[in-house]
């Protein structure tokens, strides 16, 4: 019997070529691959070498192995086209060679994880015995050899020695010796010992089943533990594995992406440059040329110069650098340096503009329809097609929905059926905790409702496990949302949270969930005594009432709730804001302004009388913080409830010498509310403020200045500039403008046109 141990680097293109060379030179009658044993049935889907063949997996893809009873337990096993395991399995499938997964199953890993969670000390024992030097070695064993070879980066050393050197099958003997030397005298963790015991048992089983020429594709680190498997008694490995519980798992295939194959994504077996590794695998010695050509193409797409002459110079420079450094082929470092020097003319920012596409790559795999998935997954994919969003679904770049050259932020029109369909789907997925789209608030009109929505879309492979998790709520997006919302409605007891939920339900067009939600809203609104909760609930409900017709929603029931909320807010608010400190007053200020904007949005005359009486009481109450009394005074002035003369008297009183400077500054901050236009256009109020500042004692002014600076710093720069010019002139003296007589004849000529314009 012959056993070939092919020690590889996961996702290494050089390892892949060496594996294929070894398999072709000595075709096995059984292939063992380092992959979880409970996912072995998934190997049958890796059956086509032609990516254009229908119903085939197109990498990058990943095996998703999870506990169907607890989706918090899940593991991903990614594959790229250049992954050694992927190519080895394809080689075996094409020749009808049996493929077996030989690693410890995730059903056992999950059970071990649970045991460690219940007894954390058991997992720390191995690490606690190590010195800091030993821990550093275990974290990156190759760093030791890289340092001896004169490299500061172990990944760069491995790439130069094994991935781009064009090694054949003979390299595996050298790798085995190297790993044996590295592992000599080291102690392994219990988890690693269990995995290697399981692998040895898998080899013994293949031998027992009568296979005579077994090929083993595994991580290079494990080769020494498997090389002498016959020297270790089977009973020893069986005893080590005995008694370990299993947790039942389910496996499927999901699309993956190049950016999730990198170290930066947190993937422990990640690589630096998936796009570069793909070129090494597909183009071999011509990889550098293709890489430089891609640099030029991407720069030209950014409207930057990149001539053919520069590309040729860059390739020559990269090859020269590789020769000077003793490399068989240029690596990613040589390519970057050469590209910056020649094509980018020394400007590193030009390369950084395209580096993510160039080095990481934006490739995303696909999974055929015959792969087992939950029904919710299929319904989401169908909904994506119906909404004409397919091109965004597998895109890991964040893009504006509907973006064009003329309208880079795109947007969807809710008055159109296609726009509503897109909006409903995106809002429904958000409700299910699948954040494919982010609703962007570009301006106040859009955020309040309006007829357009602006979304940024970004797909992530993590959505697969979220979809499986939410699949328990229903087989379709609508059914899952309704069932999920029913449960959430029953659990929600805070009125503001419930009103936000009402808004989400209406945005997602889920009438089946609206009845229960509205009944709960009515009950909570009736029972809630906290006026702040009532104030938080009003703005989202006002938006629903004001803009519900945009989506064709019947909002009459919401209007009834609003009619109950407004009087209770007006009755309870004056008592709720008495004797508050500054921080609490600022919180009340935000809520008060929110209610004021909501009532303006509703534009219901019956509410205004109650509201203005409420804030007039607050404005005149000496027990209320100045931020609130100033804000209420400003509202009454803007709405012409109080005249300019009355407002001037209130301001003069609030900024008088008898008022402590801190209280006066707080009143002023509330009164101005982030805008200085009132002072610019009302000289009487400006003069009152000017006299107050002029009358402050030097010590008092020093204490008051930070508060004034905070207030005035919120004004737009043009307003501050105009105030500075006015302040330089001192008191403002108004000149009476001559009032021209009203000419009825001339006005009569334009009035018909004005009436026509106004409809």
Q: Is residue 89 located within the same domain as residue 228?
A: yes
Number of other CB atoms surrounding residue 616 within 10 Å: 17
DSSP letters for 625-674: -HHHHHHHHHHHHHTTSS-HHHHHHHHHHHTSTTS-HHHHHHHHHHHHTT
Q: Are 400 and 410 in contact (CB under 8 A)?
A: yes
Write the CB contacts of 7 (distance below 8 Å, at least 6 apart in sequence): 172, 175, 176, 179, 218, 219, 220, 221, 222, 223
Write the CB contacts of 757 (distance below 8 Å, at least 6 apart in sequence): none
Q: Is residue 92 located within the same domain as residue 36?
A: yes
Q: Is residue 623 located within the same domain as residue 650?
A: yes
Q: Is residue 525 located within the same domain as residue 394?
A: no
**Does residue 67 fall inside a structural domain?**
yes
Q: Is residue 302 located within the same domain as residue 329?
A: yes
Q: Is residue 86 located within the same domain as residue 194?
A: yes
**Which pLDDT score is estimated for 674?**
64
CA atoms within 13 A on the CB side of 277: 34
**Does residue 686 fall inside a structural domain?**
yes
**How far is Cα 80 from Cα 701, in angstroms, rounded to an integer?**
68
**Does residue 585 fall inside a structural domain?**
yes
Q: DSSP state, 357?
A: I
Q: Is residue 335 located within the same domain as residue 411?
A: no
Q: DSSP state, 695?
A: T
Tally of domains within the chain: 4
Question: Which stretches in the chain have pLDDT values below 50?
Answer: 49, 444-449, 735-737
DSSP letters for 179-217: HHHHHTT----HHHHHHHHHHHHHHHHHHHTT-SEEEEE
Q: Is residue 622 located within the same domain as residue 699?
A: yes
Q: Is residue 511 located within the same domain as residue 640?
A: yes
Strand partners, 257: 364
Q: Residue 419 belongs to what domain range?
A: 376-473
Q: DSSP state, 509?
A: T
**Which pLDDT score is estimated for 736?**
43
**Which pLDDT score is estimated for 446?**
45
**Does residue 144 fall inside a structural domain?**
no
End-to-end CA distance of the chain: 94
**Does residue 479 fall inside a structural domain?**
no
**Residue 599 preceded by cis peptide, ω within 30:** no
**Does residue 165 fall inside a structural domain?**
no
| 320-379 pLDDT per residue, tens | 998 888 777 788 888 889 998 998 888 888 887 787 777 777 788 888 877 877 889 889
Q: Is residue 307 located within the same domain as residue 246?
A: no
**Does residue 332 fall inside a structural domain?**
yes
Q: Is residue 383 located within the same domain as residue 292?
A: no
Nearest to 667 by CA among 702, 622, 706, 636: 622
Q: DSSP state, 471?
A: G
Cα angle at 445 between 439 and 451, to 5 degrees? 70
**How far is Cα 539 from Cα 562, in angstroms, rounded to an integer?**
10
**Does residue 489 fall inside a structural domain?**
no
Q: Are 154 and 163 in contact (CB under 8 A)?
A: no
| Residue that terminates a domain, selected from 473, 507, 529 | 473
**Which pLDDT score is estimated for 434?**
92
Q: Is residue 356 located within the same domain as residue 381?
A: no
């Amino acid at each position: 019997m012959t056993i070939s141990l092919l020690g590889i680097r996961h996702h290494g293109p050089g390892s892949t070529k060496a594996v294929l060379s070894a398999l072709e030179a000595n075709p096995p009658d059984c292939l063992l691959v380092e992959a979880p044993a409970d996912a072995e049935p998934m190997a049958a889907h890796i059956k086509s070498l032609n990516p254009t063949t229908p119903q085939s997996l197109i990498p990058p893809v990943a095996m998703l192995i999870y506990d169907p009873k607890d989706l918090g337990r899940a593991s991903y096993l990614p594959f790229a086209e250049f992954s050694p395991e992927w190519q080895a399995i394809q080689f075996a499938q094409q020749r009808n060679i049996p493929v077996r997964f030989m690693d410890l199953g995730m059903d056992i890993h999950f059970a071990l994880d649970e045991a460690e969670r219940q007894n954390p000390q058991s997992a720390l024992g191995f690490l606690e015995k190590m010195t800091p030097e030993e821990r550093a070695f275990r974290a990156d064993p190759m760093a030791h050899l890289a340092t001896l070879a004169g490299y500061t980066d172990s990944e760069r050393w491995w790439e130069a020695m094994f991935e781009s050197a064009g090694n054949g099958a003979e390299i595996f003997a050298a790798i085995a010796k190297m790993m044996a030397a590295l592992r000599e005298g080291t102690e392994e963790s219990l988890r690693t010992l269990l995995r290697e015991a399981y692998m040895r048992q898998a080899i013994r089983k293949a031998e027992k089943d009568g296979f005579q020429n077994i090929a083993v594709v595994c991580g290079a680190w494990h080769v020494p533990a498997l090389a002498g498997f016959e020297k270790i008694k089977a009973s020893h490995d069986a005893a080590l594995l005995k008694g370990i519980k299993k947790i039942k798992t389910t496996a499927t295939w999901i699309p993956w992406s190049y950016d999730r194959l990198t170290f930066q994504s947190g993937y422990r077996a990640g690589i630096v440059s998936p796009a570069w590794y793909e070129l090494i695998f597909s183009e071999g010695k011509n990889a550098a040329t293709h890489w430089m050509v891609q640099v030029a193409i991407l720069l030209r797409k950014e409207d930057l110069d990149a001539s053919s002459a520069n590309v040729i110079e860059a390739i020559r420079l990269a090859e020269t650098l590789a020769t000077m450094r003793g490399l068989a082929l240029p690596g990613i470092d040589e390519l970057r340096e050469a590209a910056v020097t020649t094509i980018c003319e020394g400007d590193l920012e030009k390369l950084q503009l395209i580096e993510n596409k160039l080095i990481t790559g934006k490739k995303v795999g696909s999974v055929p329809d015959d792969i087992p998935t939950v029904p919710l997954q299929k319904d989401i994919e169908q909904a994506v097609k119906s909404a004409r969003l397919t091109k965004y679904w597998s895109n890991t770049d964040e893009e504006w929905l509907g973006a064009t050259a003329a309208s880079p932020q795109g947007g969807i029109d809710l008055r159109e059926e296609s726009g509503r369909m897109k909006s409903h789907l995106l809002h429904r997925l958000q409700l299910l905790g699948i954040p494919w789209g982010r609703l962007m608030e570009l301006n106040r009109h859009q955020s309040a409702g309006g007829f357009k929505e602006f979304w940024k879309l970004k797909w992530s492979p993590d959505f697969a496990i979220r979809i499986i998790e939410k699949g328990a709520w229903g087989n379709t997006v609508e059914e899952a949302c309704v069932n999920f919302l029913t449960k959430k409605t029953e659990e929600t007891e805070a009125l503001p949270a419930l009103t936000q939920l009402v808004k989400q339900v209406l945005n997602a067009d889920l009438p089946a969930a609206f009845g229960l939600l509205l009944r709960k809203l009515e009950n909570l609104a009736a029972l809630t005594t906290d006026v702040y909760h009532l104030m938080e609930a009003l703005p989202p409900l006002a938006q629903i009432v004001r803009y519900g017709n945009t989506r064709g929603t019947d909002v009459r029931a919401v209007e009834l709730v609003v009619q109950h909320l407004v009087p209770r807010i007006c009755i309870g608010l004056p008592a709720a804001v008495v004797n508050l400190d500054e921080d609490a007053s600022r919180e009340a200020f935000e809520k008060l302004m929110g209610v004021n904007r909501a009532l303006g949005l509703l534009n219901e005359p019956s509410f205004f009388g109650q509201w203005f009486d409420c804030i007039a009481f607050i404005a005149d109450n000496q027990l209320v913080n100045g931020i609130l009394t100033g804000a209420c005074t400003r509202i009454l002035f803007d709405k012409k409830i109080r005249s300019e003369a009355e407002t001037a008297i209130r301001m003069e009183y609030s900024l008088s010498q008898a008022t402590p400077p801190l209280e006066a500054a707080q009143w002023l901050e509330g009164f101005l509310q982030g805008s200085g236009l009132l002072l610019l256009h009302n000289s009487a109020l400006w003069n009152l403020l000017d006299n107050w500042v002029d009358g402050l004692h030097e010590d008092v002014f020093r204490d008051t200045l930070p508060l004034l600076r905070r207030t005035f710093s919120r004004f737009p720069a043009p307003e501050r500039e105009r105030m500075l010019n006015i302040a330089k002139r001192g008191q403002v003296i108004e000149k009476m403008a001559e009032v021209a007589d009203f000419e009825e004849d001339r006005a009569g000529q334009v009035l018909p046109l004005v009436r026509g314009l106004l409809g």
